[in-house]
Chains A and B, each alone.
Chain A
Amino acid sequence: MIDLENLTIKKARKALDEKVFSAVDLARAYLVEIEKKNTELNAYLEVYDDVLEQARQADERIAKGESYPLLGIPLAVKDVILIKGRKVSAASKILENYTASYNATVIDKLKKQGAVFLGRTNTDEFALGSSTENSAYGATKNPHDYLRVAGGTSGGSAAAVASLMALGALGSDTGGSVRLPAAFCGIVGFKPTYGRVSRHGLIAAASSLDCIGPIAKTVEDAQIIFDAIYGHDVLDSTSITDTTYSKPPLKKIIGVPWDLINQEGIDPEIKENFKKTVKSFENLGFKIKDIKLPNCIALYYIINFAEVSTNLARFDGMRYGLHKDGSNLLQDYFLTKGSGFGKESRRRILLGTYVLSAGYYDAYYGKAQKARVALRKEFRELFSEVDLVLTPTSPIPAWKIGEKSDPLSVYLADIFTVTANIVGVPGISIPSGFVQIGDKKLPLGIQFMASHGGEDLLFKIGQEFESIKDGP
């Protein structure tokens, strides 16, 4: 029996190279867990039927003496990332039977290393949401409390890793979609600098915000996956290189936006947990500086709606995906989009159409673009004073499935995470403890942001935090 509970990518690599167990043994152990738990949790939308064959090929490469950090490591992939010849649906009815005709760049990179893909994981439809409740295939449940959401939008990936149904996973993060579910499920979620990881082959939600990022049990594991997938790609015109951003000198100062954290609407237990966390960094010798950060929810959602409505316009039932036949071409469009898109997608398409329409464009989208430029400038100045910005990942712990019927109240859960996407800086969510609610312990997370290109610093501080949290 492989001890999956305490297994990390790092440990699995060692065991595979030393032939303690084979990639097939490891894949089989995960398939057993999936078989036991997935019907209830709904983390995977599809478990691939060739997992053991992939693992066997990895074993062959290991036998030949090859070794890559992810060779033979079983990973889950969010259902918005294309793997050639496999279904990818963005958890939408409009792409229910769509098969990818090429590999995303991240998939090519993982295949080169010999990672084993277990299956595709649930998400809010087209990665629009914060809880994975907007999936056309049902919500993913939180492994810590089956009555609660796993967070979103990469809820399937987070729940799979947290419930030992995968050793690591890929998610995508448009406004917190890797970090928030990682926090709700008690694991690590990492959002890279905008452009650091190629989006070629990622189904776009909001193109100026989207990033692909790893979800893993430890900071070190997240770094191993990140190291495998990042890099410049000619197929993504927003791709950056190692030298795009220069690194500011370290000051050992962490900025904390106390105004934003101390306001109403932030759960008192989260505030308390956060204050404890801040203290522990003070004990490590960091200086804490009170900084000002604005609430960026309005700004974020205007840009999100606008870009989502533009990106989703391509799903018209003409070339692939769902097609509903009407009496003429226009009717085909209406019927296909009307029945193919779920409620939240339809809502955001209309909101995006609204903020981009003549008469409202300047007031909403134009103003938001200006505010975004101003915020980027503020952040450049901010990171000349502090190395990192620390906040809770979410203002509230995982909520009950179906509890939030008002879409605005769900949007507000993104208050701490959207800023990194607006500005394009990297962020990480790390488990920071638990809150007891009834007989359940729900995980909490903290989030660090660093300046553009500051991934290394996030991994370093993350590992430092893990070591003090787990005790000496």
Chain B
Amino acid sequence: MNIKDVENLAQLARIELGEEEKKDILSDMESILGYIKQIEEVKIENIKPDYNLRNVWREDKEEVCEFSSELITGQFPDAQDGFLKVKKIL
């Protein structure tokens, strides 16, 4: 790994990093990835990854929910006429 890799990951994850921190993270990541690399040596015979996926349904009926819409909309960082306001995307 090098600084470019860290920058690329930070770009993908949308996190701003300072120059010093990039170096710190690079060294931490090298040591952590060096350790977890040992997963490569684990021998597994013919096991299919079993994500245990199944649908969990519930009845589609109206129920009273305890959600407070005032509490939700009141925490929008920016709002207009009760709508959440964000900067333009395109």
Interface residues of B in 19-58 (CB under 8 A from A): 21, 25, 28-29, 31-33, 35-40, 42, 44, 47-51, 56, 58
**Judging by beta carbons under 8 Å apart, are B14 and A346 in contact?**
no
**Judging by beta carbons under 8 Å apart, are A346 and B39 in contact?**
no
Interface residues of A in 313-354 (CB under 8 A from B): 313, 316-321, 323, 328-330, 332-335, 337-339, 341, 343, 346-347, 349-351, 353-354
**Judging by beta carbons under 8 Å apart, are A341 and B66 in contact?**
no
Q: Does A369 contact B (CB under 8 A)?
A: yes
**Which partner residue on chain B sits nearest A356 by CB separation?**
B12
Give Cα distance in the complex from A358 to B51, angstroms: 19
Residue in B6, B66, B77 whose beta carbon sits within 8 Å of that of A102 in the complex: B66
Q: Does B16 contact A (CB under 8 A)?
A: yes
Q: Does A408 contact B (CB under 8 A)?
A: yes
The residues of A that contact B16 with a CB separation of less than 8 Å are 334-335, 337-339
The residues of A that contact B88 with a CB separation of less than 8 Å are 329
Q: Does B10 contact A (CB under 8 A)?
A: yes
Also in contact, A370 and B44, with CB within 8 A (given A298-B35, A298-B38, A317-B77): yes
Interface residues of A in 277-330 (CB under 8 A from B): 294, 297-299, 301-302, 309, 313, 316-321, 323, 328-330
In the complex, which range does the number of interface residues on chain A fall in?
35 or more
Q: Does A207 contact B (CB under 8 A)?
A: no
A230-249 contact mask (Cβ, 8 Å, vs B): 1 or 0: 00001001100000000000
Q: Does A366 contact B (CB under 8 A)?
A: yes
**Judging by beta carbons under 8 Å apart, are B13 and A349 in contact?**
yes
B46-77 contact mask (Cβ, 8 Å, vs A): 1 or 0: 01111100001010000001111101100111
**Judging by beta carbons under 8 Å apart, are A338 and B39 in contact?**
no
Also in contact, A101 and B67, with CB within 8 A (given A319-B84, A337-B13, A411-B32): yes
**Which partner residue on chain A sits nearest B78 by CB separation?**
A323
**Which partner residue on chain A sits nearest B37 by CB separation?**
A298
Closest CB in chain A relative to B13 CB, distance in Å: 5
The residues of A that contact B89 with a CB separation of less than 8 Å are 329
Give Cα distance in the complex from A341 to B49, angstroms: 32
The residues of B that contact A63 with a CB separation of less than 8 Å are none
**Judging by beta carbons under 8 Å apart, are B72 and A301 in contact?**
no
Interface residues of A in 386-439 (CB under 8 A from B): 406-408, 411
The residues of A that contact B69 with a CB separation of less than 8 Å are 101
**Judging by beta carbons under 8 Å apart, are B36 and A302 in contact?**
yes
**Judging by beta carbons under 8 Å apart, are B44 and A374 in contact?**
yes
Closest CB in chain B relative to A5 CB, distance in Å: 38
Residue in A100, A329, A346 whose beta carbon sits within 8 Å of that of B15 in the complex: A346
**Judging by beta carbons under 8 Å apart, are A367 and B17 in contact?**
no
**Judging by beta carbons under 8 Å apart, are A350 and B32 in contact?**
no
A67-87 contact mask (Cβ, 8 Å, vs B): 1 or 0: 000000000000000001100
A189-215 contact mask (Cβ, 8 Å, vs B): 1 or 0: 000000000000000000000000000
Give Cα distance in the complex from A60 to B25, angstroms: 55
Also in contact, A318 and B50, with CB within 8 A (given A298-B36, A354-B29): no
**Which partner residue on chain A sits nearest B34 by CB separation?**
A408
**Judging by beta carbons under 8 Å apart, are A346 and B68 in contact?**
no
**Judging by beta carbons under 8 Å apart, are A350 and B78 in contact?**
no
The residues of B that contact A319 with a CB separation of less than 8 Å are 75-77, 84
Known A316-B14, A319-B76, A371-B39; 20 more pairs at CB < 8 Å? A98-B75, A101-B69, A101-B75, A237-B56, A298-B35, A299-B39, A299-B42, A301-B32, A323-B78, A328-B87, A335-B16, A338-B17, A346-B25, A363-B39, A367-B39, A367-B40, A369-B51, A406-B28, A407-B32, A411-B35
